Amino acid sequence: MNIKFVISYDGSSYQGSQKQPNGQTIENKLLKAFKRINIDTKIILSGRTDKDVHATGQVFNCIIPSFWQDLDKLKVVLNRNLPSSIKIRYARKVNDDFHSRFHAKKRVYRYLITTKETNPFNDKYITYVQTINEDLVKEAIKEFIGTFDFKYFHKVGSDKDITVREVFDTCFYKYKDIYVFKFIANSYLRSQIRLMVGFLLKISEGKLSIDDLRAQLLMKKHSSKFPAVANGLYLAKVTY
């Protein structure tokens, strides 16, 4: 029985989402929780998140025994066996051929910043900047909409041969004391969003211009190679 799960997690406690030998990843903890209730399965995540990156709407699917018909109960039991930093939000049965990664049509990420100094209770979850030029960032972030070769917006050494991605929409807005960068795309390269946000923050600081951004998108000039820190990034939603 193929089941689709939506989960949220605090990435600050883990070395990323994908399984690693050290065992300190989201996938490792999920597999451990399944084994505790005698389910031996393979997890397919919708996408990878790096160390310190969080999720409010990560998706994975896996095969479980057919006697688990009560998925609400399964959710409760799994959450009891997971660390408090990982929560299963819901689970539902899907077609046997459903694939969390390959069938995803859109992935939504948010990056959070604030100009209000952080404290010990929120420092792992939001990025502090001294100032932000809201109008300039609102204008600049729209430059990412479209289909581009994001070769200059991905981590050097990544194993992706094809670096073209389509960004469907972007926006930048303020909610109370928090500024939000929002990106919607079909998929992303490793560190792509953090590199995009890093560029936008340099534009806000006056160190780079929108023209510099356009030139980097067109691979005419590589002006910035510095990603924003990971702790402000959230995988918010995956649509199918």
d(C-alpha 201, C-alpha 228), whole Å: 8
> What integer is the mean pLDDT of 150-162?
80
In this predicted model, what pLDDT tens digit does every residue of 171-215 receive, in sequence order? Answer: 999 999 999 999 999 999 999 999 999 999 999 999 999 999 999
Q: Where are the beta strands (DSSP E) in the chain?
A: 2-9, 44-45, 54-63, 86-93, 106-114, 127-128, 146-149, 164-175, 178-185, 233-239
Catalytic residue among 50, 177, 211, 212: 50
Positive or negative: CA dihedral 11, 14, 20, 23: negative
**What pLDDT score was predicted for residue 168?**
98
In this predicted model, what pLDDT tens digit does every residue of 4-57 receive, in sequence order? Answer: 999 999 999 899 999 888 889 999 999 999 999 999 999 999 999 999 999 999
**What pLDDT score was predicted for residue 156?**
73
**What pLDDT score was predicted for residue 161?**
76
**What pLDDT score was predicted for residue 23?**
81
pTM given for the model: 0.95
Question: What amino acid occupies position 69?
Answer: Q
> What integer is the mean pLDDT of 70-87?
97
Question: Which one-letter DSSP state was computed for residue 130?
Answer: S
In this predicted model, what pLDDT tens digit does every residue of 122-132 receive, in sequence order? Answer: 999 999 999 99
Query: Is 72 assigned a catalytic role?
Result: no
- Displacement of CA 78 from its chain's centroid (Å): 23
**Domains detected in the chain:** 2-93 (3.30.70.580), 106-239 (3.30.70.660)
**What pLDDT score was predicted for residue 157?**
61
